[in-house]
Every structure is written in C-alpha cells, then in structure tokens.
Amino acid sequence: MLPFYCGWINEDLRIFSQSVNKFIDQEVEPCYGEWERNKWVPRKLWNKLGKAGLLCVDIPEEYGGAGVGFKFVALIVDIFSRRGVGAISVGAMGVHGSIVAHYIVNMGTGDQKKNYLPKMALGEYVGAIAMTEPGAGSDLKNIKTSAKKTDGGYLINGSKIFISNGQHCDIVIVACKTDPAAGARGISLFIVEATAKGFVRGAKLEKLGLHCQDTSELFFEDVFVADDALLGPLDGGFIAMMQELPRERLVLAVGAQAACEGMLEITLDYVRERNAFGQRIADFQNTRFKLADLATRVRVQKAFVDQCILLQAEGRLDTATASMAKLHTTELQGIVADECLQLFGGYGYMTEYRIAREYADARAQRIYGGTSEIMKEIISRELIK
C-alpha cells in the first residue's frame, strides 16, 4: 500500500515499503485494538521496531542507523498513518526517531552520540523531549523549569506536561532556564536519564484520542546531571529548538496527509458495500459530491506535501513552508475525519470502527507540534517582514 501520485518514491523505497507493511501486518494490526482498549503499547514493540530497522533510519550508520535520507522516514510515517495505526508513529518515528535522535545527532558530543544513538536505533532506549509545562505551551521562552549550576554539573527542578513517551522513556531531553533574566536566550537543553535520582514520572494522562500512545507529566526534584549532560551550547537551547521544529512539523504533516488518504480509502469501501433505501450509499449524489470534494482537496494538498518532503531531503525546507504544511494538512485531516464519519452513519460513532478512532486521533494534530494559531503567526510574520 503506497502513497498515490508520489514522484519521490523510487525502487528502493518501494521495496522498503513492503517490509514496513509486513511489519504492521504481523506485529501491529493483530494487537492494535487491544492496545487501544488497554491504552498501552508494550515495551517489547520498541525492540521489535528496532530489530526491523524502523527506528532512527536516517541517522548515520556509525551510530546504529541505516544512513538513509528523510524520504525513508516520510515513507514509514505515511504507511503507519495511512493504515490507521498512526499512534505508533507519533511516539516512535516522530518523537523518538525524528526529534530526540536528531537533536543528539546535530548537537551532541561524540560521547553522547555513542552512548545513546545505537541504543535508540535498536529500541533499547526510548527517547522523549520535555518542553511543555503547565504554564507554558507554545510560549517556550516562559518555561520555569530551572537548571542551576553546582559543583560538577547542574540541579534541575520543575515539571513538564503532555510529554510523549513519558512512561516508556529512558532518556529525556529537558528544556531548562539556565539564565532566568535572559528570556529565550537563557534556555539550555540537558539529557536526563530516567534512572536519575529525583526524576519522577507522573500518571499516564487520559486523552481524547491516540489512546495507546503514552503521554505523561514529568517531575524533576533536585535532579543532578553532570556537565557532560548539557546538549549543545549553554543558553543555546531556544535557537536549537527553533532549528529542529520544521522537521517535526513536516513529519506531522506527512502523517496527516496519509491519514486523510487512508480515511478516504476505508470510506470508499464502506459506501460501495452499504445499502440504504434500496441502493448503495455510493449511489446517492450527496455521497458522490462529498467524496469528490474531499478527494480533490486531499490530492491537491499532496502535491504540496511531496514538494516539502523533497525540500527537506535536500536540506532546503524553511520554517514558514513547514508551518504551512502542518497547518493545512492537520486542518484538512479534521475535515476529512468528520465528513467520512458522517458517511458511516451510526456505525461511524462506534469505537469498533476505525473511522471513529481516526476522528478522535485527528484532533490532537492541530495542537501538538505548535497549534494552528501559532502556525498562522509564524507564516504571517514571514509574509510581512
């Protein structure tokens, strides 16, 4: 099952897609319903993902990755999202592989790369990134978590919320204030190991959707980290986060686009088979016109997403363009989910139907990774500067 109308899919990617689909067939789909009901993915799945070569594929081979380009990441995210098991890719290919691993690749010391990346690629270590706080979401410059210098390192105090992989994580990249008077220029990043004294996992948070993807509060109570836990330059964390966000937002956009296509596929199958008033639902003009409108919007959008994938693969994707992709795809994902669920009628509201899960899962897309309102702010600033 490959993306439609994809000019960037070559033979290597086509072959690779077969192994991704096979993994989902064998290791994910048979268990996904149970995971959703239990609101939990077993840790062994991370090991299986690593063994199958689906984690951190685009980090250098010397650190355990496959050394391939961004297109392979996009393809994995696309297939998981298209097949309705996108909660797995949010934590594994998104946060773990596309965010945490790349912070370490791009900013880490040689020892940090050697210590963490091979274990992340194998699924032995799970990564998380802790930015958001109860009083600071998109406004990162106002975070309160502090890292105060002490002999041989830093003491971290504070709390974080809505942290993906918070329950499973072995390492967390934590955004802290190291110079409270400097605003955004006083933020630094630290790698905190989950075994550190004073690191406390809060309860797994109950969410509207993405039930099996764990999201947690994290607490830091006089957590000591050595000097070599600093990731990147002191007080350089905000700039680093801004540099990494375009990639994160494109990964979300790729998933949103694929989810739109996947929802259209299952809805088309349903309306062809389901009858009402003596004819197929597909034969009603309202159904045909709704689907024609959605399919047109999704296909036009795909051209832009594919262009963004190529720009990212070439290292030329800018912040405003990534923000446009994230804004448009996630907003359309919500529309497609709502319209497609309507065509399922009462069955669409039943959680045993995939479309109901897709509807619930889609809502977070307009919030995490930067809200739609923040995306508009970024885009508008670029337009008028």
Q: What angle do CA 206, 209, 52 make, to 5 degrees?
A: 100
Start-to-end C-alpha separation, the chain? 43
CA distances from 25 to 18, 19, 46, 377 (A): 10, 10, 16, 41
Cα–Cα dist 264/296, whole Å: 11
Give yes or no for a contact between 349 and 274, defined as CB atoms under 8 angstroms apart: no
Cα–Cα dist 383/82, whole Å: 33
The separation between CA 296 and the C-alpha centre of its own chain, rounded to angstroms, equals 26
Cα–Cα dist 223/90, whole Å: 28
Q: Which residue has the tokens 């993405």?
A: 210
Using left for φ > 0, alpha for ψ between -120 and 50, and beta otherwise, residue 369 falls in: left
Radius of gyration of the chain (CA): 21
Give yes or no for a contact between 378 and 332, defined as CB atoms under 8 angstroms apart: no
CA distances from 269 to 78, 237, 265, 281, 285 (A): 20, 48, 6, 11, 17
Long-range Cβ contact pairs of 358-363 (< 8 A, separation 24 or more)? 358/84, 358/259, 358/262, 358/263, 359/209, 360/208, 360/209, 360/210, 361/86, 361/87, 361/209, 361/210, 361/259, 362/209, 362/256, 362/259, 362/330, 362/333, 362/334, 362/336, 362/337, 363/208, 363/209, 363/334
Cα–Cα dist 278/284, whole Å: 11
Does 193 qualify as catalytic in the annotation? no
Cα–Cα dist 374/139, whole Å: 10
Q: Tokens standing for 61?
A: 């081979």
The residue annotated as part of the active site, out of 244, 248, 261, 358, is 248
Residues identified as active-site: 248
